Amino acid sequence: MGRFFMYATIGVLAFFVLSATFVIDSGGGFTAAVAQVSVHNLRTSPETYRGRHVTTEGTLRFAQETARFALVDDENQAVAILKYDSHKLRELQDRKVSVAGRFGFDAEIGIYIEADTVSPLD
């Protein structure tokens, strides 16, 4: 009977360690957010930030050629804004904004942020 309790205790501790590791590895995505990344850095090192939660600033513009909103910096470099309410984006068009969301890139769209929040800075 003593062995049963010993093995049960070891099993419970192993489960605790494995579950704590899983929670730390997969549950900390938003707490590990990049505080501030420039549009320039996103464009020059996109692989560094792929799939990560980023925050960046710039002027919100509507690009007629792509029919998408984009965040444009002072050097006229842009990052497309995806999966955000277009009505809210229209209200912020041509204003300085902060955008937070998941960064990505592909051949069709280029670099983009799947925006969680878009907030005015002025």
Of the candidates 115, 109, 69, 111, the one whose C-alpha atom is nearest the C-alpha of residue 89 is: 69
**CA distances (Å), 55 to each of 5, 20, 86, 102, in order?**
50, 28, 19, 9
User: Looking at the 3D structure of the chain, how many domains does it have?
Assistant: 2
What Rg value do the Cα atoms of the chain yield, rounded? 21
Whether 96 and 48 map to the same domain: the answer is: yes
CA 104, 111, 109, 73 torsion-angle sign: positive
- pLDDT of 19-73, one tens digit each? 776 666 555 544 455 669 999 999 999 999 999 999 999 999 998 988 999 999 9
- pLDDT of 79-107, one tens digit each? 999 999 999 999 999 999 999 999 999 99
Whether 56 and 94 map to the same domain: the answer is: yes
Whether 18 and 43 map to the same domain: the answer is: no
In CATH, what number is assigned to the domain containing residue 113?
2.40.50.140
Structural domain boundaries enclosing 101: 39-120
Of the candidates 74, 82, 83, 79, the one whose C-alpha atom is nearest the C-alpha of residue 46 is: 79
The SS3 call for residue 93 is coil
Whether 112 and 54 map to the same domain: the answer is: yes
Question: Could you tell me the two tokens for 101?
Answer: 């969301």
Whether 68 and 19 map to the same domain: the answer is: no
Query: Which helix (H) or strand (E) element contains residue 78?
Result: strand 78-82
